[in-house]
Structure 1
Amino acid sequence: MSESDSDLSEARVRKAEELRARAESDEGSAPNHGDPVHVDGPDEFQSLLDEGGVVLVDFYADWCGPCKMLEPIVADLAAETDATVAKVDVDQQRQLAAQYQVQGVPTMYLFADGEPVERVVGVRQKPELASLIEQYA
């Protein structure tokens, strides 16, 4: 192994340690205002709905191409609207996906005061989703 390979290897190890430390310090902390909330189970999902107001829920899968296209739009909506924006991984939360009859991803639900008021299947552009949120805000 040459000296430059050794330096590169050490830099990778340092960077991995920094990322691990940052991830550990972020665990358990509340999400930043404007960040989508990643739902970890039915109880957390229900708590979001119980808070009232407008909640946009993005049912997605990591392997889904259209979901990846929608991700920056969902993040922008979380940052730019007063609505709570939640993300539910259908592979990890099969019970929630079944409860809301999610058969394809992406599927988004809009809740107002805890009740589902709109269902959107497929990728939509930001203005359309923002307008939908505003109708119930």
Structure 2
Amino acid sequence: MTDDTIEEIKARKKAELVERAQRPDEPDQPVEIEGSEHFEDVLASHDTVLADFYADWCGPCQMMAPAVERLAADDGVVVAKVDVDAHQGLAQAWGVQGMPTLVVFEGGSEVDRAVGARSYDGLCSLVA
């Protein structure tokens, strides 16, 4: 790496930290969805939301949980966790058929979707 590259990385990271500090309403952990109204409120309150439709009994969901938590904590991404067993109507309304289903929303509208477990890097690329 050159000195220019290191300085560019430092400047980018500093800008990201400043931007994050200016958004104190962004949760640094996944938001457990309590129902369809709460889900709509979360979508309306944040520019970008990653909805993680999961089930406690789902092995791939459990395996992916640390990556989802890291994404919310480290990258300033709002993650909405939707338990499909507790909120079957919400899962059905969004066409969730397999788990985990990850849906990216921007401005309240779906912009991307993935089914199946993803690594942390895979989650980052999904919301990028």
| TM superposition score normalised by structure 1 | 0.72
Q: Which runs of no fewer than 5 residues in structure 2 stay unpaired? A: 1-25
2:93 pairs with one of 93, 99, 103: 99
- Greater C-alpha radius of gyration: 1
2:103 pairs with one of 103, 109, 116: 109
Q: Spell out structure 1 runs of 4+ moving beyond 3 A.
A: none
Report Cα offsets for 1:21-70 as digits up to 9, x if no partner.
xxxxxxxxxxx931100001000000011113110010000111111001
State the secondary structure of the residue aligned to 2:57: coil
Q: Does 1:67 align with 2:64?
A: no
Q: How does 1:1-137 map to 2 (within 5 A)?
A: 33-134=27-128
State the secondary structure of the residue aligned to 1:110: strand
RMSD of the alignment, in Å?
Answer: 1.3
Q: Percent identity?
A: 46
CA contact (8 A) 2:27 2:76 kept: no
CA contact (8 A) 1:50 1:113 kept: yes
Tell me the number of residue pairs that the alignment of Structure 1 and Structure 2 aligns. 103
| TM superposition score normalised by structure 2 | 0.77
